[in-house]
């Protein structure tokens, strides 16, 4: 098969790495890709948001399946565009993707279909939002309605913070159009987890559990990021909790998609808070997580292409993938300044030494560009260092040993990914 993979992050390098193991893959194109995907297939200089350009390319190269990595092209309706031309594509329709691209849409969907979530109110003017927070209980959570690279959520502990966040988002346009409408919601405390499930409109296929580390500093301190590292299994969920999540979240979700005629064939991954009152959904993501994908694909033993095709064809009920018993860890090395505006163009050294340390290490590139035989940072998250181990500790030690051998100016990473966590 000829495959077109859209995106340029660590997630896409991991998807490309796994797709290459499929005996059915003939030619792999990645648009626009990164230095890591260039080693596995042909990078195509088309932006992920250039939906028309991508369509023409897929038609010209007789692509059998297009796989969408990031959220933006989904929100722009790339799936509808390809399907209207009779092309097969993995991902939800524009309407289905609104579960991620509009938090108020998702909230309304959850409330109508009995999916537990935090109580919230939607505001379209800063004066109404500001009046509301004058008398509200704290802490409370202020969320940009649209896509904001995982940075559009502010937890306000007092009124001044809430007013500041409203002003920045709604009046100053900190998140652009995404933040002109906001949600103000109840603060939930508990243990946070997420689950990934492929959904084909009729059935779902749950992935093993994984845990992201969203805050930039150790011990979950500092601002939120796209994700600084992942472990799988998470050490948080046992079989019973997973069953509860299936029953309370995924089953009403599938019923809701059907009842609302929301076409959805792709990956759905809710962020969940396990509260004293039971599990509640914080948000939906309509794509593979980054860096969750990196650990999943280290653990997936079956052919990824089979699973993606079954999702598109509506035959997921027949799939029974097998997974590594071993644990997987991914440690993200980020550019100086991330998650704020970050440095670029720093030479990366030690990649060969890190790889040579252990054949079990796989380095997934994200913000990396190659020039000649040298690699340079392109800002943001730069690399995801992954390893397997009999335990999370073992996997984590292996990944950290490799992480320490890689150098670039401003490099920073968390030191507590998979450290001290017991697997349930
Ligand atoms: P979201 O993008 O909606 O998942 O929010 C990003 C992060 O903000 C989540 O991973 C949580 O850590 C936190 N968060 C979001 N909503 C709430 C809430 N209602 N209560 C407490 N924390 C929240
Ligand atoms: N790592 C979280 C996400 O991909 O949204």
Would you say residue 268 lies in a domain? yes
The CATH number given to whatever domain includes residue 174 is 3.30.1490.20
- Other CB atoms within 10 Å distance of the CB of residue 314: 12
- pLDDT band, very low/low/confident/very high, at 424 (cuts 50, 70, 90): very low
pLDDT tens digit sequence for 191-242: 888 899 999 988 999 999 999 999 999 998 998 899 999 999 998 888 899 9
Mean pLDDT of 285-304: 98
Asked if 267 and 368 sit in the same domain, the reply is no
pLDDT tens digit sequence for 148-200: 877 789 999 999 999 999 999 999 999 999 999 999 999 999 988 889 999 99
- Of 318, 350, 365, at which residue does a domain stop? 318
DSSP state of 156: E
pLDDT of residue 12: 98
What b/e string do you get for 189-218 counting C-beta neighbours within 10 Å, with b at 16 or more?
eeebbbbbbbbbbebbbebbbbbbbbbbee
Domain housing 261: 190-318
The CATH number given to whatever domain includes residue 53 is 3.40.50.20
Would you say residue 309 lies in a domain? yes
Would you say residue 160 lies in a domain? yes
Q: Does residue 141 line the site of ligand 1, with CB under 6 A?
A: yes
Number of domains making up the chain: 4
pLDDT tens digit sequence for 114-141: 999 999 999 999 999 999 999 999 999 9
For residue 127, the CA-to-ligand 2 centroid distance in Å is 32
Would you say residue 101 lies in a domain? no
| Burial class of residue 144 in the structure, from the number of CB atoms within 10 Å of its CB (0-12 exposed, 13-18 middle, 19+ buried) | buried
Record the tokens describing residue 98, joined without a space.
Answer: 């609104």
Record the tokens describing residue 399, joined without a space.
Answer: 């990944």
What is the C-alpha separation between 410 and 112, in angstroms, rounded? Answer: 47
| Burial class of residue 350 in the structure, from the number of CB atoms within 10 Å of its CB (0-12 exposed, 13-18 middle, 19+ buried) | middle
What is the C-alpha separation between 336 and 356, in angstroms, rounded? Answer: 26
Least confident of 87-91, 147-151, 256-260: 147-151
Asked if 292 and 338 sit in the same domain, the reply is no
Would you say residue 360 lies in a domain? yes
**Across all residues in the chain, what is the average pLDDT?**
95
Would you say residue 75 lies in a domain? yes
- Of 281, 298, 318, at which residue does a domain stop? 318
Would you say residue 109 lies in a domain? no
Closest CA to 144 of 112, 166, 160: 166
Would you say residue 64 lies in a domain? yes
How many C-alpha atoms does 291 have within 13 Å on its Cβ side? 33
Report the residue among 106, 139, 184, 271 best suited for mutation to probe ligand 1: largest number of ligand atoms under 8 A from its CB.
Answer: 271
Query: CA distances (Å), 300 to each of 49, 69, 99, 180, 296, in order?
Result: 29, 18, 27, 40, 6
pLDDT of residue 422: 54
Asked whether residue 4 carries a pLDDT value surpassing 60, the answer given is: yes
For residue 367, the CA-to-ligand 2 centroid distance in Å is 16
pLDDT of residue 151: 76
Ligand 1 nearest-atom number relative to CA 271: 4
Asked if 237 and 170 sit in the same domain, the reply is no
Closest CA to 399 of 229, 264, 207: 229
| Burial class of residue 186 in the structure, from the number of CB atoms within 10 Å of its CB (0-12 exposed, 13-18 middle, 19+ buried) | middle
Ligand 1 nearest-atom number relative to CA 150: 2
Ligand 2 nearest-atom number relative to CA 292: 1
For residue 194, the CA-to-ligand 2 centroid distance in Å is 10
Yes or no: say if 3 and 87 are a contact pair by the CB < 8 Å rule: no
Mean pLDDT of 243-269: 95
The CATH number given to whatever domain includes residue 235 is 3.30.470.20
Q: Does residue 40 line the site of ligand 1, with CB under 6 A?
A: no
- Of 284, 318, 352, at which residue does a domain stop? 318
């Amino acid at each position: 098969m000829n495959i077109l993979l859209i995106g340029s992050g660590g997630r896409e390098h991991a998807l490309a790495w796994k797709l290459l193991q499929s005996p059915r893959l003939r030619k792999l194109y990645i648009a626009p890709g990164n230095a890591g995907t260039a080693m596995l297939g042909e990078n195509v200089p088309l932006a992920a948001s250039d939906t028309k350009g991508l369509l023409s390319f897929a038609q010209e190269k007789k692509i059998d399946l297009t796989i969408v990595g990031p959220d933006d092209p989904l929100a722009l309706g790339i799936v509808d565009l390809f399907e209207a031309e009779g092309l097969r594509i993995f991902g939800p329709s524009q309407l289905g993707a609104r579960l991620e691209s509009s938090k108020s849409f998702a909230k309304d969907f959850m409330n109508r279909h009995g999916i537990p979530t935090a109580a919230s109110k939607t505001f379209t003017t800063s004066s109404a939002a500001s009046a509301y927070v004058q008398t509200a209980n704290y802490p409370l959570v202020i969320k940009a309605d649209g896509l904001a690279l995982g940075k559009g959520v502010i937890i306000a502990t007092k009124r001044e913070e809430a007013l500041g966040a409203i002003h920045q988002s709604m009046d100053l346009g900190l998140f652009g159009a995404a933040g002109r409408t906001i949600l103000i919601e109840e603060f939930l405390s508990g243990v946070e987890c997420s689950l990934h499930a492929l959904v084909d409109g009729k059935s779902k296929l749950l992935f093993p559990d994984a845990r992201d580390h969203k805050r930039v500093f150790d011990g979950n301190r500092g601002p939120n990021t796209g994700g600084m590292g992942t472990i799988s299994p998470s050490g948080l969920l046992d079989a019973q909790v997973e069953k509860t999540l299936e029953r309370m979240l995924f089953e009403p979700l599938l019923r809701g998609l059907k009842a609302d005629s929301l076409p959805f064939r792709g990956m759905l991954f809710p962020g969940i808070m396990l509260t004293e009152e039971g599990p509640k959904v914080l948000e939906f993501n309509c794509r593979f997580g980054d860096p969750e994908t990196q650990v999943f694909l280290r653990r997936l033993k079956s052919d990824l292409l089979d699973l993606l095709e079954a999702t598109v064809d509506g035959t997921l009920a027949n799939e029974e993938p097998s997974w590594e018993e071993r644990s997987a860890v991914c440690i993200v090395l980020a550019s100086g300044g991330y998650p704020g505006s970050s440095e670029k163009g720093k030479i990366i050294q030690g990649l060969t030494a890190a790889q040579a340390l252990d054949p079990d290490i796989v380095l997934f590139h994200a913000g990396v560009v190659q020039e000649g035989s040298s690699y340079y940072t392109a800002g943001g998250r730069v690399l995801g260092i992954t390893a397997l181990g009999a335990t999370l500790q073992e996997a984590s030690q292996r990944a950290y040993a490799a992480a320490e051998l890689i150098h670039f100016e401003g490099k920073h990473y968390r030191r507590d990914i998979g450290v001290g966590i017991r697997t349930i």
